[in-house]
Copies of this chain bind each other. A is one copy, B any other.
Amino acid sequence: MSSSAPSRLRSLLNHLLPPSPPSPHEQEQQQGQSRDQQQQSPQPPPQPTPPHLSHLSPTFFLERAAAIEPRAEAVYHVTANGAVLRRSYRELADRARGLAYYLRKRGLRRVGILAPNTPAFLETVYGVVAAGAVLVPVNYRLKEVDVRYILEFAEVDCVVVDGEFEGLLGGFRRARPGVEVVVDLDTDATEGELCGPFDEAVLEGLLYDQETGSKGWADLVSQTVANEDDMIAIPFTSGTTSKPKGVVYTHRGAYLASLANIVESGLNVPDGRCKYLWTLPMFHAVGWTFPWSVCAVRGTHVCLRKIDYPLIWKLLKEEGITHFNAAPTVNTLLCAHADAEVLPRPVRVTVAASPPTAHLFEQMTNLNLLPVHVYGLTETYGPITRGYMLPEWDQLPKNEKYGNMARQGHGFLTALPARIIKPDQPEGVLVDVAKNGKEIGEIVFSGNICCKGYYKDAEATRKLFAGGVLHSGDLAVWHPDGSIQIQDRAKDIIISGGENISSVALESMLVEHPAILEAGVVAVPDSHWGERPKAYITVKVKGKGGGGGGGAQTDLRGAEVIEWARTHSAISKFMVPREVEIVRELPKTSTGKIKKNELREWAKKGTPREALVG
């Protein structure tokens, strides 16, 4: 970081964070000035020819929001130092612009971000891309060695890191001492010790812009990009079975996915602005493109450093949250939490990451948490299908209605239709399964909401796109109405006595038991049947106190569950689990998926002592 005189810092900070909105007269002066300067150096952003084609890039959404409604609240956040921070769109855009010029000044082209859901993360999403650089979001729940692997593999020349997670960079920094590291302290400070290197970088960039002609956004990659098919970001898969893979996102793909997310989740609130709560990690598939979708409609990003159920309920009740996205597991614990209450106004909850149960959707709806059920992969910018609710379902019995809602549905607005293909064909041969709700095949996608491929991995990319479609690795049935419904990950399906058992379907049925909170089902070897299902379950706490986590205050025994499953009308005899083990908590990935690998390990080597109940 260059050292800047404190007085200069302060004067820039005053520009950055104006104590009060400027008068129209001040605005006029500011804007007149930058206009004049543009006139002196009449260099419009590089325009493709002909003029009716501009390359799509979602970074423009921030510049545009700040131009239309500079004073609108862009960010609400409780910082690491416990303060409530609010930033306007002008401030968010100014800070992103500062970061962009900082990166440009230093010639940085590939920027890692290792942070929870903070304002600095949002600023990095925009600032990095505006500088013409590529964003590499990293899961801060990974181990140091994995963080190092990803940052090295992605060839970053700069990392923005949240102060809490700086330690995770140790290995990488030792290996690559030349890489620029910018630490964000996530505070509300605008000067003094709490104002960390990230803030200083922003200021340095703003100064640099000022010194080099105050070109502002006009000289950044915002309104248009050299080629919309260029790389914008490389998020990584969670890599449960192998090394994480870098997924190549393009400007065009991110743009079209974020437009679809606006429409599908209804972020364009009539007569108001959405208040979007960041429960979904921003690092995960670049937050399913919502950093862009929310700015496109000038909504407020309500940032959250971590999942904190009492805080979430407080924000839902007091801060007028209109939308959030979360995995079924987060919603399950949210609904079961002691602070749960029916909300006075509906909140749209976009649900994905693993197949939700009908039971969960019923619980959510009862609390006025209205589900928008989507499905996708890191390889599809997050959501690429949606379970569209049909008005006529309101006439159906509840279990059917919520059962229909739990289907993964149809292709997204800007996607092409999802297909389900027979899994037993030679690689690259695509034969659709029957639309009978029974035949199981693999879900495949094509079109603009598919990633461009895996970074530096031609062989994995070839496999991903075998036959010209994107292979999800998820198994599903195709219903007569054209909707798809996931049965399992290919590796999670249980084959018992020649019958396919969907672990997802079995889990969905088990949580209908009044005492069961969550269920994870895996195959265990069986000398007679080949495989048989084993269920790990957590139980609801008695009464309602005690938080949303799994607890042990119940007398439920595994044998009772097995007995109950035998009498459950929808559980076929061959599906009844032979073993049920009650545990404190299920192992989960950072995005809330149950780690089936770990459950299989438990089944093989015995459940670890700390997971056992009692």
Contacts of A371-404 to chain B: CB distance below 8 A = 388, 390-392
Which of A50, A266, A447 has the most chain B CB within a 10 Å cutoff? A447
Q: Are B417 and A32 interface neighbours, CB within 8 A?
A: no
Query: Would you give 11 A-B contacts (Cβ < 8 Å), ordered by A?
Result: A27-B481, A28-B480, A31-B480, A44-B430, A51-B447, A53-B229, A67-B417, A68-B410, A68-B482, A224-B447, A264-B268
Residues of B within 8 A of A229 (CB): 53
Judging by beta carbons under 8 Å apart, are A448 and B52 in contact? yes
A465 proximity list for chain B (CB < 8 A) = 50-51
- A80 contacts B by Cβ under 8 Å: no
Please give me the 8 A-B residue pairs with the lowest Cβ-Cβ distance, nearest first. Answer: A54-B447, A28-B480, A52-B450, A27-B480, A31-B435, A68-B410, A263-B268, A266-B270
Closest chain B CB from A388 CB (angstroms): 5
Within 8 A of B (CB), among A64-91: 64, 67-69, 71-72
Min C-beta distance of A504 to chain B, whole Å: 22
Known A432-B35, A434-B35; contact A410-B266, beta-carbon cutoff 8 A: no
Q: A32 and B259 in contact (CB under 8 A), knowing A47-B468, A64-B411, A67-B417?
A: no
* CA–CA, A50 and B432, complex, Å: 21
How far, in angstroms, from A428 to B495 measured CA to CA in the complex? 71
For A416, what are the chain B residues with a Cβ–Cβ distance below 8 Å? 54, 60, 223-224
Residues of B within 8 A of A262 (CB): 263
A436 interface residue (CB < 8 Å to B): yes
- Whether A414 sits at the interface, judged by CB under 8 Å, is yes
Distance of A98 Cα from B470 Cα, bound (Å): 32
Per-position contact with B for A247-277: 1 when CB-CB < 8 Å, else 0?
Answer: 0001011000001001110101011110000
Q: Tell me the chain A residues, 33-66 only, with Cβ under 8 Å from chain B.
A: 35, 38-39, 42, 44, 47, 49-54, 56, 60, 64
Contact, CB under 8 Å: B250 / A259: no
Contacting B at CB under 8 A, from A458-473, are: 465, 468-470
Which residues of chain B have C-beta atoms less than 8 A from A480's C-beta?
Answer: 24-25, 27-28, 31
Residues of B within 8 A of A71 (CB): 392
- A596 contacts B by Cβ under 8 Å: no
Q: How far is the CB of A345 from chain B (nearest CB, A)?
A: 11
In the complex the two chains form, what is the Cα distance from A430 to B416 in whole Å?
41
Given contacts A32-B436, A49-B468, A52-B253, 4 further A-B contacts (CB under 8 A): A24-B480, A24-B481, A52-B453, A223-B416
For residue A318, give the distance in angstroms from its CB to the closest CB of chain B. Answer: 19
Question: What's the Cα separation between A32 and B435 when bound, in Å?
Answer: 6
A296 proximal to B (CB < 8 A): yes
Could you say which residues of chain B place their CB within 8 Å of the CB of A25?
480
Distance between Cα atoms of A259 and B272 in the complex (Å): 20
Closest chain B CB from A307 CB (angstroms): 26
Instruction: Point out the residues of chain B lying under 8 angstroms from A264, CB to CB.
Output: 268
> Given A28-B435, A416-B223, A431-B39, A51 and B270 touching (CB < 8 A)?
no
A389 CB to nearest chain B CB (Å): 8
The reply on A413 being an interface residue by CB < 8 A is yes
Residues in B neighbouring A431, C-beta threshold 8 A:
39, 42
Q: Is the CB of A390 within 8 A of B31?
A: no
In the complex, what distance in Å separates the CA atom of A47 from the CA atom of B465? 13
Are B263 and A67 within 8 A (Cβ)?
A: no
* B432→A39 contact, CB < 8 A: yes
Given the known interface contacts A54-B447, A468-B47, the answer about A28 and B270 at a Cβ–Cβ threshold of 8 Å is no
The answer to the question of A583 belonging to the interface, with a C-beta cut-off of 8 Å to chain B, is no
Contact check, A450 vs B67: say whether CB atoms are below 8 A apart.
no
**Interface positions of A from 223 to 241, Cβ below 8 Å from B:** 223-224, 229
Q: How far, in Å, is A93 (CB) from chain B's closest CB? A: 13
- Is the CB of A446 closer than 8 A to any CB of chain B? yes
Whether the Cβ atoms of A272 and B482 lie closer than 8 Å is: no
Flag if A432 contacts B388 (CB, 8 Å). Answer: no
Closest to A266 in B: B270
With the chains together, A35 CA to B268 CA distance in Å? 37
A413-B296 CB under 8 A given contacts A51-B469, A56-B448, A465-B50: yes
Is A301 interfacial (CB 8 A cutoff)?
Answer: no
Q: Let me know if A337 is at the binding interface, CB within 8 A.
A: no
Contact of A450 among B51, B224, B414 (CB under 8 A): B51
Which residues of chain A (414-454) have a CB below 8 Å from chain B? Answer: 414, 416-417, 430-432, 434-436, 446-448, 450-453
Within 8 A of B (CB), among A121-142: none
Q: Shortest beta-carbon distance, A476 to chain B, in Å?
A: 15
Q: Which of A416, A436, A453 has the most CB of B within 10 A?
A: A416
Give the residues in chain B near A413, CB-CB below 8 Å: 259, 296
Is A348 part of the binding interface, using a Cβ–Cβ cutoff of 8 Å? yes
